[in-house]
């Protein structure tokens, strides 16, 4: 008998959106059950129904063989169901322990027993290997840690079945590894986990079975050991997905970006980017591989004018681009897809059309002597929506209401339409769904074939290996190697350089830069 069976769930929201169209889900006790699907497929809606946050329009739910009506989260919690949402729901000014016991505080007599709250938190944290400081305030707690708090909060309330809605979307690769270890501990302690994601590598790594959703419907349910990433991708997207990008051979052109002996030391005096020299040429994608935190982010911020360098030089087509701010860099034909698109990438409250000209509004055709030209701006918006396949009602749609993949397409469209000679792409597909990833990859390679110089930084090694012509490995602020991306280059070999086990000699680096 399944632990949970949802049958023929239909959900029509009050505004008429059909978010679940006859979905059935079966979850066995003790399994890790992944639910995958592109943005908007209806995954969160189904999970909210299982947690009593939304009521199904029709359909039924059985727990341990008995029909239940989950009229609110309290009902779900009483049945041993817990959920960690995409957006955390914690009280910033409270400590971790206070948040974990909130609403179910241990008491001694008439008063809340905060000592016991701390002791209980420590106990839980130890049992599941989810380490945290019970006395720290949420406001001082980083994202990965807040997620642990949410998980422990659900466990404190007796969750046997834990629903995690896109838990890795906000995590770094290291935090993701920690989370996966914690999930395995939960299973060892007899819990059951439903894990939502659109990253198929994660599905293959951690799950026992996978349910695939597309356009509000269930497409299928498979055993993880009997499926593959291409199969799952095809089910999710509804067509063949080309996981490999055609990278037609081209001759590397003249250098566009030249970096010489660049040093960036942070406020604490640490040499975060430590005397590095390299080039990016026309018709090439130079990919930077490295464990996050080895200077890649700072290097990009220096090159895009967001930080001032300590010493050294960087030129684009012979023009010095350092220490003069982002606008100077852009005016010298450098485009930038930023790592953190929510803070640096888009104005969420502005329209798609306005976001597309955020860096060029002061130039014709968007500004003529009479002032801003709204019709030219909107026409450009419509053209970009069509060319980049941005799914939105119109060019007036606010960017904040778009899915992650479509938001990223707006950024890519904006950066390409500035007609750059150098593109700095930092984590260009982080948090983006498969269809959009495929599109963005193809765009990057096409532009490179047409002559663009591209510096690609990605924490996803597969992405670096798929797109790059050459790979530069960073370790501890230094360049550990330049490697041509030939078919015999393996993840293992790259890993040796990424972890600092091996290092090319200064002569080898000089010859290959």
Ligand X SMILES: Nc1ncnc2c1ncn2[C@@H]1O[C@H](COP(=O)(O)OP(=O)(O)O)[C@@H](O)[C@H]1O
Tell me: does residue 13 bind ligand X (CB under 6 A): yes
Instruction: Please say which residue, 148 or 214, places its beta carbon nearer to ligand X.
Output: 214
Counted residue by residue, the chain has a size of: 513
Instruction: Please say which residue, 257 or 390, places its beta carbon nearer to ligand X.
Output: 390
Asked if 191 and 185 touch (Cβ cutoff 8 Å), the reply is no
Asked if 454 and 287 touch (Cβ cutoff 8 Å), the reply is no
Instruction: Please say which residue, 386 or 393, places its beta carbon nearer to ligand X.
Output: 393
DSSP state of 138: G
Strand-pairing partners, residue 257, are: 280, 316
Instruction: Please say which residue, 43 or 282, places its beta carbon nearer to ligand X.
Output: 43
Partner that binds at residue 37, options ligand X, Mg ion, none, CB closer than 5 to 8 Å by kind: ligand X
C-alpha–C-alpha distance, residues 384 and 356, integer Å: 8
Tell me: does residue 418 bind ligand X (CB under 6 A): no
Q: What are the phi and psi torsion angles at 289 (to 5°)?
A: -105, 145
CA 8, chain centre distance (Å): 31
Compute the least distance from the CB of residue 177 to ligand X, in Å: 24
**Which among 499, 483, 440 has a CA at the least distance from the CA of 287?**
483
Instruction: Please say which residue, 11 or 448, places its beta carbon nearer to Mg ion.
Output: 11
Instruction: Please say which residue, 37 or 56, places its beta carbon nearer to ligand X.
Output: 37
Which region, judged by CB under 6 A, interacts with ligand X, from 14-22, 26-34, 322-330, 455-463? Answer: 14-22
Instruction: Please say which residue, 34 or 276, places its beta carbon nearer to Mg ion.
Output: 34
Which region, judged by CB under 6 A, interacts with ligand X, from 13-21, 294-302, 316-324, 358-366? Answer: 13-21
Compute the least distance from the CB of residue 436 to ligand X, in Å: 13
Which region, judged by CB under 6 A, interacts with ligand X, from 10-18, 23-31, 121-129, 348-356? Answer: 10-18
Considering only residues 37 through 56, tell me which ones interact with Mg ion, judged by CB under 5 A. Answer: 44
Instruction: Please say which residue, 165 or 301, places its beta carbon nearer to Mg ion.
Output: 165
**Which among 208, 291, 302, 191 has a CA at the least distance from the CA of 491?**
291
Compute the least distance from the CB of residue 214 to ligand X, in Å: 9
Tell me: does residue 42 bind ligand X (CB under 6 A): yes
Greatest Cα pair distance in the chain: 79
Compute the least distance from the CB of residue 245 to Mg ion, in Å: 27
Compute the least distance from the CB of residue 388 to ligand X, in Å: 20
Please give the C-alpha separations between residue 236 and each of 5, 41, 72, 405, in angstroms, as whole numbers: 22, 9, 30, 15
Residues 6+ apart with CB under 8 A from 113: 105, 106, 107
Instruction: Please say which residue, 21 or 504, places its beta carbon nearer to ligand X.
Output: 21
Compute the least distance from the CB of residue 208 to ligand X, in Å: 21
In the set 3, 39, 81, 132, which binds ligand X (CB under 6 A)? 39
C-alpha–C-alpha distance, residues 74 and 55, integer Å: 14
Q: What are the phi and psi torsion angles at 99 (to 5°)?
A: -65, -40
Instruction: Please say which residue, 37 or 305, places its beta carbon nearer to ligand X.
Output: 37
Partner that binds at residue 39, options Mg ion, ligand X, none, CB closer than 5 to 8 Å by kind: ligand X
Compute the least distance from the CB of residue 20 to ligand X, in Å: 8
Asked if 205 and 180 touch (Cβ cutoff 8 Å), the reply is yes
3-class SS letters over 221-239: EEEHHHCCHHHHHHHHHCC
Task: Annotate each residue in 43-82 with x if it binds ligand X (CB under 6 A) or - if it does not, as one string.
Answer: xxx-------------------------------------
Q: Taking CB positions, which residue lies at the least distance from Mg ion?
A: 44
Q: Which two tokens stand for residue 189?
A: 């302690």
Partner that binds at residue 236, options Mg ion, ligand X, none, CB closer than 5 to 8 Å by kind: none
Partner that binds at residue 338, options ligand X, Mg ion, none, CB closer than 5 to 8 Å by kind: none
Checking DSSP bridges between strand 192-197 and strand 32-36, what pairing results, if any?
Answer: parallel
C-alpha–C-alpha distance, residues 138 and 510, integer Å: 48
Dihedral sign for Cα 457, 462, 467, 473, please: positive
Strand-pairing partners, residue 169, are: none
In the complex, the residues that contact ligand X under the rule CB under 6 A are: 13, 15, 17, 19, 37, 39-45
In the complex, the residues that contact Mg ion under the rule CB under 5 A are: 44
């Amino acid at each position: 008998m399944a632990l949970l069976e949802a049958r023929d769930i239909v959900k029509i929201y009050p505004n008429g959106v059909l978010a679940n169209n006859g979905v059935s889900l079966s979850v066995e006790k003790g399994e890790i059950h992944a639910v995958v699907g592109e943005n908007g497929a209806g995954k969160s809606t189904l999970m909210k129904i299982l947690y009593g946050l939304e009521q199904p329009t029709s359909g039924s739910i059985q727990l341990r063989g008995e029909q239940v009506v989950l009229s609110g989260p309290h009902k779900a919690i009483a049945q041993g169901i817990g959920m960690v949402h995409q957006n955390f729901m914690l009280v910033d000014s409270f400590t971790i322990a206070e948040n974990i016991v909130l609403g179910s505080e241990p008491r001694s007599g008439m008063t809340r027993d905060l000592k016991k709250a701390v002791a209980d938190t420590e106990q839980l944290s130890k049992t599941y290997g989810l380490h945290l400081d019970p006395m720290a305030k949420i406001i001082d707690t980083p994202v990965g840690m807040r997620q642990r708090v949410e998980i422990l909060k659900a466990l404190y309330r007796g969750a046997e079945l834990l629903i995690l809605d896109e838990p890795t979307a906000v995590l770094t690769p290291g935090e993701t590894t920690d989370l996966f270890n914690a999930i395995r501990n939960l299973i060892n302690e007899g819990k059951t986990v439903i894990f939502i994601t659109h990253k198929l590598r994660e599905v293959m790594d951690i799950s026992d079975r996978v349910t695939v959703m597309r356009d509000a419907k269930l497409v299928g349910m498979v055993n993880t050991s009997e499926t593959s990433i291409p199969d799952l991708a095809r089910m999710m997207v509804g067509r063949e997905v080309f996981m490999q990008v055609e990278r037609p051979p081209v001759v590397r052109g003249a250098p566009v970006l030249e970096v010489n002996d660049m040093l960036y030391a942070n406020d604490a005096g640490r040499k975060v980017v430590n005397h590095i020299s390299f080039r990016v040429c026309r018709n090439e994608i130079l990919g930077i591989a490295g464990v996050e935190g080895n200077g890649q982010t700072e290097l990009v911020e220096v090159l895009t004018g967001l930080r001032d360098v300590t010493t050294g030089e960087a030129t684009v087509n012979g023009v010095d681009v350092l220490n003069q701010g982002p606008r100077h860099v852009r005016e010298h034909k450098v485009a930038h897809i930023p790592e953190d698109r929510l803070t640096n990438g888009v104005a969420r409250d502005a329209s798609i059309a306005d976001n597309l000209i955020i860096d060029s509004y002061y130039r014709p055709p968007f500004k003529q002597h009479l002032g801003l030209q709204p019709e030219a701006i909107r026409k450009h918006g419509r053209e970009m929506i069509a060319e980049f396949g941005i799914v939105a009602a119109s060019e007036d749609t606010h960017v904040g209401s778009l899915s992650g993949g479509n938001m990223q397409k707006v950024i890519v469209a904006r950066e390409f339409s500035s007609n750059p000679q150098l593109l700095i792409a930092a984590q260009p597909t982080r948090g983006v769904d498969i269809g959009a990833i495929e599109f963005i990859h193809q765009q990057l390679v096409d532009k490179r074939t047409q002559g663009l110089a591209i510096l690609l930084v990605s924490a996803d090694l597969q992405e670096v290996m798929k797109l790059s012509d050459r790979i530069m490995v960073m370790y501890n602020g230094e360049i550990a190697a330049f490697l041509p991306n030939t078919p015999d280059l393996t993840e293992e070999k790259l890993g040796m350089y990424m972890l600092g086990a091996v290092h090319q000699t200064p002569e080898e680096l000089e010859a290959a830069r």
